[in-house]
Amino acid sequence: MNIKIVCVGKLKEKYFKLGIAEYQKRLQRYCKFQIVEVPDEKAPESLSPAQMTAVKEIEGERILQKIKDKEYVFALAIEGQERTSEKFAQEIQQLMTYGKSDITFVIGGSLGLSPAVLRRADTQISFGRFTLPHQLMRLVLTEQIYRAWTIIKGLPYHK
């Protein structure tokens, strides 16, 4: 099983890096796990709607270059479907059962994901209606992927 997170921007905060590294280490026994960063598009603080669309499209092209045809793609989007941790684990297990051994999660930049990325996604997933920094979302997602594996394996981590 190969699990990849494709995300926009570099992670600078040491505390996020340390948390993600811990879950990456734990995940090694269950799957091949990697995080792929694509550059964020530099833009001024206040953007017109057309400029926002252009930034999302450029970042979206960079994301799509990192996704292969055979990958099953989860796009993280506030409009996506919320899942419980148990349901998320069940979904990953079903994907494995039906031969989907390459799973990719996509986290957009501060403006979100382009329509092209959302169309490429097999499903959209939401972690609630809160707006979270995309750097924090990497940590939350990595932990939830680890939690899903502990649920699949019947380990006591998930309580």
Please report, for the domain that includes residue 72, its CATH number. Answer: 3.40.1280.10
Q: Is 76 annotated as a binding residue?
A: yes
**80 is annotated as contributing to ligand binding:** no
Residue 115, in any domain of the structure: yes
Domain of 148? Answer: 2-152
158 lies in some domain: no
CA atoms within 13 A on the CB side of 140: 15
Residue 126 located in a structural domain: yes
Q: Is residue 57 part of a domain?
A: yes
Residue that has been written with the tokens 């502990």 in this structure: 150
**DSSP-derived pairing of the beta strands 102-107 and 72-82:** parallel
Displacement of CA 154 from its chain's centroid (Å): 24
Residue 123 maps to a domain: yes
Reply yes or no on whether the pLDDT at 97 is more than 80: yes
Is 157 within the bounds of a domain?
A: no
Q: Which of 136, 32, 146, 157 is nearest to 89 (CA)?
A: 146
pTM beyond 0.75: the answer is yes
Determine the average pLDDT of the residues in 1-15. 96
pLDDT at 4: 98
Residue 73 lies in a domain: yes
How many domains is the chain built from?
Answer: 1
Sheet containing strand 32-38, edge to edge, reads 32-38, 2-8, 102-107, 72-82, 123-126
Identify whether 134 is part of a domain. Answer: yes
**H or E, element range at 138:** helix 134-152
Residue 7 scores a pLDDT above 80: yes
Compute the half-sphere exposure of residue 61: CA atoms within 13 Å on the CB side of its CA.
Answer: 6
Q: How confident is the model at residue 133 (pLDDT cuts 50, 70, 90)?
A: confident
pLDDT value at 1 more than 90: yes
